[in-house]
């Protein structure tokens, strides 16, 4: 009985593209099949007959696997991804046309500070057991706080520096602004990644049943 259902799940999952989607779909399929199996057993069916009927009700494994992939990875996602990529390229071209390169938009210290603090928030939110969804959620909020903190620290340094000399004020302001800039970008990236991960968590898989 267990072997029959395991073989069925293996055949379904073999047709599902994407490791995370495959894992989440298998988990939900197990719950669906167990629920149906238990209902047949409660109705007086023998274990093997209940397993066969459960598999029959679930449908053809190859078709089910293809349907799960198609429904959870719609063409609309590819279209939005393409549009986003095009917009990124256009923005990059605008920046290059203004400056000639990206040097004005990169500061090693500000970038590393935002990334490290954001990652630290992600790990703290996970606690003692790493969870990708929690980590990304922590990075999403941590990036904004890290960018804001970098901005405030940069402004404070600028104000103290102005008391002695105006030299380097422009660089300090740029670093402060870039910290906030990196924080916003990283938070946005984490939010997008989090939405993709959450779509594959148990309870969110579509197309499991007709």
Domain boundaries, the chain: 2-72, 76-101, 106-198
Tens of pLDDT, residue by residue over 74-113, are 555 556 566 666 777 677 666 666 656 667 777 888 888 8
CB contact set of 37 (below 8 Å; sequence gap of 6+): 5, 50, 51, 54
Q: Find the mean pLDDT for residues 133-151.
A: 89
Token pair, residue 117, equals 């603090």
pTM to 2 decimal places: 0.54
Confidence of residue 118 (pLDDT cuts 50, 70, 90): very high
DSSP 80: H
3-state SS assignment for residue 210? coil
pLDDT of residue 79: 61
């Amino acid at each position: 009985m267990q072997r029959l259902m395991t073989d069925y799940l293996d055949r379904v999952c073999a047709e599902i593209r994407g490791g995370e989607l495959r894992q989440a779909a298998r988990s939900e399929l197990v719950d669906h099949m167990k629920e149906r199996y238990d209902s047949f057993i409660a109705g007086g069916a023998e274990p093997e007959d209940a397993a066969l009927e459960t598999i029959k009700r679930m449908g053809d494994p190859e078709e089910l696997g293809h349907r799960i992939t198609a429904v959870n990875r719609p063409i609309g996602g590819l279209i939005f991804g393409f549009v986003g990529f095009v917009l990124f390229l256009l923005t990059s071209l605008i920046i290059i046309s203004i400056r000639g390169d990206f040097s004005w938009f990169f500061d090693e210290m500000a970038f590393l500070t935002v990334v490290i603090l954001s990652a630290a928030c992600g790990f703290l939110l996970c606690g003692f057991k790493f969870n990708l969804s929690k980590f990304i959620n922590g990075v999403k909020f941590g990036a904004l706080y890290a960018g804001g903190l970098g901005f405030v620290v940069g402004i404070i340094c600028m104000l103290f520096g102005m008391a002695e000399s105006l030299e380097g004020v422009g660089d300090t302001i740029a670093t402060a602004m870039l910290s906030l800039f990196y924080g916003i970008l990283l938070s946005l990236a984490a939010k997008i990644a989090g939405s993709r991960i959450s779509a594959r968590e148990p309870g969110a898989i579509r197309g499991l049943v007709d």
